[in-house]
Amino acid sequence: MSAPPAGRPLPVVDADSAPFWAALRDRRLMVQWCGTCDRHVFYPRALCPHCHAELAEWVECSGSGTIHSYTVARRPAGPAFAADVPYVVVLVDLDEGVRMLSNLVTDDVDSVRIGARVAVRFEDVTDEITLPLFEPAPDA
């Protein structure tokens, strides 16, 4: 896909995730950071999954990362994505050390490679929701 599908199911924002989605509206990719064990945490939650300290701090990510794995969806994940096949689902390892699932926006789905560098691309979907998609890094 060159642009994300319009009818895709949108995240249902909750108390854990509200800061994450609010930051994205401002074009900032924020994740939690655990001061007790000095690790970034994604997705947002109450306790650190590594050391179980309470999570209170958020930090902004560079938005740069590496493709850990990917698949090209040749069949859609339901009717909302039917017009968009083929499209790329990626697991991105952000430079901060957390892994996110997203889409890689590209016109050449057969050019995707594990290990390739990618950069976040903010995709406004509604007034409330901006999705963190990815695209090949400019210098890649």
Query: Site residues (CB under 8 A) for other proteins?
Result: 5, 8-14, 17, 42-43, 68-81, 84, 87, 89, 91, 99-103, 114-115, 131
Q: Is 48 in the site for Zn ion (CB under 5 A)?
A: yes
51 binds, among Zn ion, other proteins, none (CB under 5 to 8 A by kind): Zn ion
Instruction: Build a one-symbol-per-residue string for 18-37: x at contacts with Zn ion by CB under 5 A, - elsewhere.
Output: ----------------x-xx
For 35, the token pair is: 């001061």
Residue type, 86: P
Q: Does 55 bind Zn ion (CB under 5 A)?
A: no
12 binds, among Zn ion, other proteins, none (CB under 5 to 8 A by kind): other proteins
Q: Is 47 in the site for Zn ion (CB under 5 A)?
A: no
At position 60, the amino acid (one-letter code) is: E
Query: Any contact of residue 51 with Zn ion (CB under 5 A)?
Result: yes
Window 59-78: contact mask with Zn ion (x via CB under 5 A)? --------------------
- Please state the closest distance from residue 70 (CB atom) to other proteins, in A: 6
CB of 105 to other proteins, least distance (A): 11
State in Å, rounded, how far the first CA of the chain is from the last one. Answer: 20
Whether the Cβ atoms of residue 43 and residue 18 lie closer than 8 Å to each other: no
- Cα 97 to Cα 63: distance, rounded to the nearest angstrom: 11
